[in-house]
Amino acid sequence: MNMMAETTLEPKQAQAMNEPVYKMIGNKVSVFYGTKQALFEVSLPVREKTVTALIGPSGCGKSTFLRSLNRMNDTIDNCRVTGQITLDGQDIYDPSIDVVELRARVGMVFQKPNPFPKSIYENVAYGPKIHGLARNKADLDQIVETSLIKAGLWNEVKDRLHEAGTGLSGGQQQRLCIARAVAVSPEVILMDEPCSALDPIATAKVEELIHELRSNFTIVIVTHSMQQAARVSQRTAMFHLGNLVEENDTDKIFTNPDESRTQDYIMGRFG
Amino acid sequence: MKTPLILLILALMAIGAYVAGRARSHALSRTSKVKTHSRPAYHSAYVALAGLLPAVLVLIVWSIASPIYIDRTVRATLPSDLRIDQASEALNYGTVSIVARGVEQLTEAEIAAAQAGTVKWPELLVSKAVPVAADVRPEIIQAALKRTAMDAASHKAMAAVCIVVAALGAFLGYRRLAPSFRARNHIEKLMLVTLALCSTIAILTTVGIVVSMLSEATRFFAMVPMHEFFFGTVWDPRFAAAGAGGEGGQFGLIPLLAGTLYIAFFAMLCAVPVGLLSAIYMAEYASPRVRNLAKPALELLAGIPTIVYGFFALVTVGPFLRDISAELNGLVTGNYTNFIQAQSVLTAGIVMGIMLIPFVSSLSDDIITQVPRALRDGSLGLGATRSETIKRVILPAALPGIVSALLLTASRAVGETMIVVLAAGVAARLSPNPFEPMTTVTVKIVNQLTGDLEFTSPQTLVAFALGITLFAITLALNIYALYIVRKYREQYE
């Protein structure tokens, strides 16, 4: 399967550094909730096999942008998206696109760990079963195991795969959710403040995990923590009041941003 | 002085106390150096209640105790030949009560005249439209006069005591007002007592109902052995004709219980799929506009009185099923006789099912919408379709709640009466054929208790045994529903 194939490849970092490959490109994306506009013509490219952090004060539209990348905004009544978002050059809001298939390619991890009230095994097997990724039980077992290994959870749960996923600790639950997302072999993983409900130790584990996942997946992460953005991401985009303020290499944003608003936010003067 | 007037005076006193307490509290907060513990509203309410509550309590106790005392005293004054046994005493004391009511309407001058003998008592009373025999005994008249006098005295004393208690209470309450006085906490405690009292009343009523049913049922089981009732397969109670004595009927519960469960089963068979699927549509698919329109419309069904559903069954559904069965039979065998009777288990089941749809859908809808949005997002975010999400995540998570909703609905189906009377008839038969009439426990309870009855024969007492059995069934269903909810409650946290 292609997921397995990818794990064996060397990360093409050198190539990404020189001439960036864009996995997803947002072009003048505006989002409306009813009559209220939450996002104003945001144009943001997302590089392949890179962690892109979206930062900014609460209500700045970073989660809204993230959710429009896999059309999760469609599930909200009255929500309307204009502009263009492409995945590998294909418009994801095009009527010919199957939203279900899109979400299988662009997975999502949510703010609060939300394991299903099923066993650990069933939680991870959920996506592969729906999409028919496993031909038989052995296949499925294999997918579950590799996903849990990738999420760094295998050693902790291998003896109790059939216990309830809701019985795990908060940090373990969040890593289970990441394993669940990884199991459908997405190309992009969106993370909406994945550590905001976790304690520092669990946060450190998830951050380490994000670091490892970068070699196989394109990751977009929304975070409230400047330190986290600095630690896990290579590119950072700063949002304010529904606008994209600037987007650049993380090192540059945190040491020498072009915009004074970015500087102020990072220094903690507002937000 | 009459009780309403006393209550009015007490209310006015309470208002006065409230105003006084308020003034004092304001004065306190102005002059005191420390911050007052409670706000003026609490202080004034405390003063008002300190007067009002004890006075009302006295009023209630007095109103209950004084008639009992007066009755006993007056009864004792009746000569012994007027109270040979309980019946004659009750009869003669009844006359005393009637005369006493007449005496209350007389002026003092009229009473004096009658006492002096210038006017005859019976004539005087009859002129006031009080029915009294012409040869009424003078002892009875005297007893009535004594009762009237005692009543009046009691009322006066009660008024005086109440007002004194109210004044004293309010005064003591007023005296306690101080910046450090915790009136707020006292009022809080009072609220607690009031609330606890109300729930106690609700619980005691339930207990009372059960106890009264149990005691009547015990009387029934003294006449009919328990095993004949619970395991008897024939329901033939005969008539409870007065004086018929000895002609005991057969009181077999089984045919009724079978009918009840059979009809409830068909009702659930209709209600559960339709109700559950419409709940899923309402909760997951319907746009807010459709939902706002369709949900109240569906719940309107729950507001229709069950007797109206009964008409519907009798006039529309029953004949329709009968005719269509005749047509079907004709098409298949060439013999145009109906195999579904107009009154049948099926008719009752279908119509009761329609009645239950809003219960199932409304309860399930609430439960489904309670499933956290995070679970929905999690599944959709993995690329599941809506129906996959519902089938694999939402319904399993909501299942305990839905099961308990269905059990609650089932206990309604078991207790339903009117639809069954009209749709399935009153014939207590034991038959596996759902196209024929059967009847239920509740219908037979109504049957046994309609008409002029004496509550000593097993024919009427059986109703209580049936009632307690039905109560046990619905109680068991409800407890089981609660148990399921508790057991699986922490499933999604």
Do the bridges between strand A235-240 and strand A51-55 make them parallel or antiparallel, or are there none, so unpaired?
parallel
Show the beta-strand stretches assigned E in B100-254. 235-236, 250-251
Q: What value does the mean pLDDT take over residues B244-265? A: 81
pLDDT single digits (tens) B161-213 = 999 999 999 999 999 888 888 889 999 999 999 999 999 999 999 999 999 99
Question: Measured between CA atoms, how close is B380 to chain A, in angstroms?
Answer: 8
pLDDT single digits (tens) B421-447 = 888 888 888 888 888 888 889 898 888
Phi, psi (degrees; rounded to nearest 5) at A25: -130, 120
CB contact under 8 A, B376 and A102: no
Cβ–Cβ contacts within 10 Å for residue B412, how many? 18
- The residue of chain B nearest to residue A115, with distances taken between CA atoms, is B375
Tokens 């849990």 -> residue: A148
pLDDT of A118 over the 60 cut: yes
Q: Name chain B contacts of A184, Cβ cutoff 8 Å.
A: 382-383
In angstroms, the CA B384 to CA B351 distance is 38
Do the bridges between strand A79-87 and strand A235-240 make them parallel or antiparallel, or are there none, so unpaired?
unpaired
In chain B, where are the structural domains located?
A: 3-181, 182-223, 235-492
CB contact under 8 A, A75 and B396: no
Interface probe for B, chosen from A69, A126, A166, A188 (most Cβ of B below 10 Å), is A126
**B residues 263-292 lying closer than 8 A (beta carbon) to A:** 287-288
pLDDT of residue B429: 83
What ipTM is given for this predicted complex? Answer: 0.84
Nearest-5° Cα angle at B440, B434 to B442: 155
Is the pLDDT higher at B488 or at B222?
Answer: B222
CATH of B235-492, one of 1.10.3720.10, 3.30.110.30, 2.40.30.10, 3.90.480.20: 1.10.3720.10
Mean pLDDT for chain B overall:
87
Do the bridges between strand A22-33 and strand A36-47 make them parallel or antiparallel, or are there none, so unpaired?
antiparallel
DSSP A115-157: --SSBHHHHHHHHHHHHT--SSHHHHHHHHHHHHHHTT-HHHH
Judged by average pLDDT, the poorest of A17-21, A97-101, B313-317, B425-429 is A17-21
pLDDT of residue B489: 62
Q: Name chain B contacts of A181, Cβ cutoff 8 Å.
A: 381-382
Tokens 């995070």 -> residue: B374
CB contact under 8 A, A110 and B377: yes
Tell me the CB-side half-sphere exposure of residue A22, using CA atoms within 13 A: 13
Is the pLDDT higher at B241 or at A193?
Answer: A193
- The residue of chain B nearest to residue A74, with distances taken between CA atoms, is B380
CB contact under 8 A, A110 and B392: no
pLDDT of residue B459: 84
Tell me the CB-side half-sphere exposure of residue B8, using CA atoms within 13 A: 5
What's this model's pTM, rounded to 2 decimal places?
Answer: 0.74
